[in-house]
Homo-oligomer: A and B are copies of this chain.
């Protein structure tokens, strides 16, 4: 009926795409550079847990895996901010009881997806490295486990080979492909707060913990084994930086004592873990178009890698899979049309979540420590409560709804201005001018309508 599909990369995006498309009746093979993670120990230092929210859950629901995945998830209902003196401030993510994000293990999720792919008839071939693609010769260039090069002739390829995508490297050498890669001046390092002596969580497990310190921050997400995975985001260079810490145990210890004393008290292995784990880089990748005729299409990080600060890397990749499966339904078996429609419809949204994720870094590391910001967040939820038909806070549009990212970005900017106007000179919800709010809501309702129509 349809041509067989070759998916490159059995990470989260590639494997979910394989599940979706195999369930829809396509013949799918999945090529993976590494060995089978289900029978191997994990490489250290990769992001260990992720925040699964509405878009990811919707995709997993569509392929029948939502409940299975949520068995191992931990709800995070809000942010818990840790001040330098250890004082805690909490802030709910949403208004409703079911508005929380889910801390989930990346490797557990990936393994569930691999099992489901095989169950749906997908052949996964491990230790097959993709070197690139020659679009003129229509050849996928591969290397097998023995280091032997081979080609696959005229395949239909979905490239889910991640942020360092070899297929993207081939794509951007084509004429008229626009491309950018931008690195943050910050890197990241994963650390651990183990379970306590009583084998229980040592901090509130229903929160995403943040230690905002202006130009840098520490965050922590809970794991089912009662530990927290912490991530330190710090500039590579400058006064407080990975360079200035210089892998010196004394400097690392002093830095944590000064800025993260309450976390340090829970991290007996800080120095060891800090020195053992690599320092990761953070980049934003933008690319357009994402496809070459009906030969090859990129999805997920391969086409639009984003920084992790909105917790949307996996969620946006999963939404890619949802939309790609839908494009196959609508435009198949014309693969060229499937790829081109998907690519052009998804581009603006991918750009928008890239921007939102960059903005959220400033918010997390800096603004969450600010009382004006906290008042605006409070008002934002109050507006949703009073005007549920009109006003959905930006964070909720992105995390608890499937409103297109570009629309969430545009409305989020309008919200930001509106919240600033309404809270200017005020320091408590009780002081808000509710008549001014009513007027603002009229204008906002029109804007929201225009944006949802667009």
Once bound together, how far apart are the Cα atoms of A281 and B169, in whole Å? Answer: 19
Are A181 and B183 within 8 A (Cβ)? Answer: no
Choose the segment among A56-64, A84-92, A171-179, A312-320 that binds chain B (4+ C-beta atoms closer than 8 Å). A171-179
Are B183 and A180 within 8 A (Cβ)? Answer: no
User: Is A345 part of the contact surface with B, judged by Cβ < 8 Å?
Assistant: no
> Of B169, B172, B182, which one neighbours A181 at CB under 8 angstroms?
B172
Once bound together, how far apart are the Cα atoms of A178 and B169, in whole Å? Answer: 15
Query: Within residues 271 to 319 of chain A, which ones have a CB less than 8 A from any CB in chain B?
Result: 281
Are A178 and B172 within 8 A (Cβ)? Answer: no
> Of B173, B180, B236, which one neighbours A179 at CB under 8 angstroms?
B180
Residues of B within 8 A of A178 (CB): 180-183
Query: Within residues 153 to 177 of chain A, which ones have a CB less than 8 A from any CB in chain B?
Result: 169, 172-173, 175-177
Residues of B within 8 A of A181 (CB): 172, 177-180
Q: Which residue of B lies closest to A182 (CB)?
A: B178
Instruction: Give the distance to chain B from A220, nearest Cβ to Cβ, in Å.
Output: 26
Instruction: Give the distance to chain B from A242, nearest Cβ to Cβ, in Å.
Output: 12
Residues of B within 8 A of A175 (CB): 183, 281
Residues of B within 8 A of A173 (CB): 169
How many copies of the polypeptide does the oligomer hold?
2
> What mask results when residues 389 to 413 of chain A are scored 1 for a CB within 8 Å of chain B, else 0?
0000000000000000000000000
Once bound together, how far apart are the Cα atoms of A172 and B182, in whole Å? Answer: 11
Are B183 and A176 within 8 A (Cβ)? Answer: yes
Q: Which residue of B lies closest to A178 (CB)?
A: B182
Residues of B within 8 A of A176 (CB): 183, 236, 281
Query: Chain A: interface residue count, which band?
Result: 10 to 19
> Of B169, B180, B236, which one neighbours A180 at CB under 8 angstroms?
B180
Residues of B within 8 A of A177 (CB): 181, 183
Once bound together, how far apart are the Cα atoms of A178 and B183, in whole Å? Answer: 6
Residues of B within 8 A of A172 (CB): 181
Once bound together, how far apart are the Cα atoms of A179 and B177, in whole Å? Answer: 13
Q: Which residue of B lies closest to A280 (CB)?
A: B175
Residues of B within 8 A of A169 (CB): 173
Query: Within residues 176 to 233 of chain A, which ones have a CB less than 8 A from any CB in chain B?
Result: 176-183
Q: Which residue of B lies closest to A175 (CB)?
A: B281
Once bound together, how far apart are the Cα atoms of A177 and B181, in whole Å? Answer: 8
Once bound together, how far apart are the Cα atoms of A169 and B281, in whole Å? Answer: 19
Q: Which residue of B lies closest to A173 (CB)?
A: B169
Instruction: Give the distance to chain B from A257, nearest Cβ to Cβ, in Å.
Output: 29
Residues of B within 8 A of A179 (CB): 179-181
Residues of B within 8 A of A281 (CB): 175-176
Once bound together, how far apart are the Cα atoms of A304 and B172, in whole Å? Answer: 17
Once bound together, how far apart are the Cα atoms of A110 and B99, in whole Å? Answer: 66
Once bound together, how far apart are the Cα atoms of A406 and B180, in whole Å? Answer: 22
Once bound together, how far apart are the Cα atoms of A283 and B236, in whole Å? Answer: 32
Once bound together, how far apart are the Cα atoms of A329 and B86, in whole Å? Answer: 54
Instruction: Give the distance to chain B from A170, nearest Cβ to Cβ, in Å.
Output: 12
Once bound together, how far apart are the Cα atoms of A281 and B178, in whole Å? Answer: 12
Q: Which residue of B lies closest to A183 (CB)?
A: B176
Once bound together, how far apart are the Cα atoms of A181 and B173, in whole Å? Answer: 10
Residues of B within 8 A of A180 (CB): 178-182
Once bound together, how far apart are the Cα atoms of A373 and B178, in whole Å? Answer: 32
Once bound together, how far apart are the Cα atoms of A180 and B183, in whole Å? Answer: 12
Once bound together, how far apart are the Cα atoms of A40 and B176, in whole Å? Answer: 30
Instruction: Give the distance to chain B from A125, nearest Cβ to Cβ, in Å.
Output: 26
Residues of B within 8 A of A183 (CB): 175-178
> What mask results when residues 2 to 31 of chain A are scored 1 for a CB within 8 Å of chain B, else 0?
000000000000000000000000000000
Once bound together, how far apart are the Cα atoms of A183 and B236, in whole Å? Answer: 32
Residue of A169, A176, A177 contacting most chain B CB atoms (<10 Å): A176
Q: Which residue of B lies closest to A179 (CB)?
A: B181
The 6 A-B pairs at the shortest CB distance, nearest first, are namely A180-B180, A176-B183, A178-B182, A179-B181, A175-B281, A178-B183
Between A and B, 7 residue pairs with Cβ closer than 8 Å are: A175-B183, A176-B281, A177-B181, A178-B181, A178-B183, A179-B180, A180-B180
15 more A-B residue pairs beyond the given contacts A178-B180, A178-B183, with a C-beta to C-beta distance below 8 A: A169-B173, A172-B181, A175-B183, A175-B281, A176-B183, A176-B236, A176-B281, A177-B181, A177-B183, A178-B181, A178-B182, A179-B179, A179-B180, A179-B181, A180-B181
